[in-house]
Amino acid sequence: MSKATVLNNIDHKGVKVDTQPSLYKNEHVNRSMIYVTEIGELHKEFPLVFYKAPDSDKGQLQLHAILGLEKDENLFLGVNGWNSRFVPALLARGPFSLGYKKSENDDSDDSEQAAPVICINMQDSRVNTEQGEDIFLQYGGEAPYLSYVKKALQTIENGIKFNQTLYALVEELDLLEPVSIQIKLSNIEEVNFNDYYTVNQQKLAQLDGEKLARLSQYGVLSLLYFVLSSMGNFQQLTELKNAKSAMF
């Protein structure tokens, strides 16, 4: 059970986050949910695919970055941390999350929106006061690690809204097809990509001008091509996997 408290530079003075991967098993995952707002970066490194839970007919679509080929295998995680240039925001945020605070009634313009505040889960195994990344600078300023986390949290915050736009459009225009990649790891092992979908390139290419204009207007058209081209990263994934196997 995670319990988040609002982060502040007085109560959490001196608190550090140890980002050593060995401390946090939740980073040892073979996929991560990602957000539309990070496709532009993540497609350069990870295979990005749509996922639909099989247990319901109207299952909500998700976008996933594939990180490994076996259970709990994250091929981008080295002994000292991530080897990739980019990290999915959901994992980059560490023990932090966004909460919403009812804005205090200020003098005039009553902003109806609750202001987002950064929360920290103090029970998280990475949180300590001994070693790792400082959250705050010596006199309470924002340390670089906190800036990094903030960026990840913003990616998530903005992505939650835009994900729905993407999902609605790809379903409406029927642009998805099952992932047909088959990866044979050994004679007995084969990786299964049931329930995963990617963009049907042919259907996308055959959309009429009006539909293409709509995709473009919503900023989705380029994202679909990014997702499509990210399939090439499966090659890198198998190379990482083979390199790792070769070491043993």
C-alpha dist (Å) from residue 157 to 35, 86, 117: 9, 18, 11
Nearest distance, CB of residue 139 and other proteins, angstroms: 5
Nearest distance, CB of residue 110 and other proteins, angstroms: 5
- The interface region with other proteins, picked from 20-28, 86-94, 133-141, 227-235 by CB under 8 A, is 133-141
Contact pattern from residue 100 through residue 119 relative to other proteins, giving x for each residue in contact according to CB under 8 A and a dash for the rest = ----xxxxxxx---------
Nearest distance, CB of residue 120 and other proteins, angstroms: 19
Residues 49-108 that bind other proteins (CB under 8 A): 104-108
Nearest distance, CB of residue 138 and other proteins, angstroms: 7
Number of H helices, E strands in the chain: 7, 15
Distance CA(77)–CA(21), nearest Å, equals: 7
With contact defined as beta carbons under 8 Å apart, do 152 and 92 qualify? yes
Contact pattern from residue 182 through residue 221 relative to other proteins, giving x for each residue in contact according to CB under 8 A and a dash for the rest = ----------------------------------------
- Strand segments, DSSP code E, in 37-132 are 48-52, 61-66, 77-78, 81-82, 96-101, 115-121, 127-128
Nearest distance, CB of residue 95 and other proteins, angstroms: 22
Closest CB to other proteins among 106 and 210? 106
By CB under 8 A, the count of residues binding other proteins is 12
Closest CB to other proteins among 112 and 210? 112
Other C-beta atoms within 10 Å of 246: how many?
A: 7
| Among the listed residues 73, 134, 142, 195, the single contact to other proteins using CB under 8 A | 142
CA atoms within 13 A on the CB side of 199: 27
Nearest distance, CB of residue 118 and other proteins, angstroms: 16
Closest CB to other proteins among 51 and 136? 136
Closest CB to other proteins among 115 and 137? 137
Take residue 81 and report the two structure tokens written for it.
């941390």
Task: Report helix, strand or coil for 99.
Answer: strand
Nearest distance, CB of residue 242 and other proteins, angstroms: 45
Q: What is the CA radius of gyration of the chain?
A: 20
In this structure, the dihedral spanned by the alpha carbons of residues 192, 152, 136 and 99, taken in order and rounded to 10 degrees, is -100
Distance CA(67)–CA(34), nearest Å, equals: 12
Residues at the site binding other proteins, with contacts judged by CB under 8 A: 104-110, 137-139, 141-142
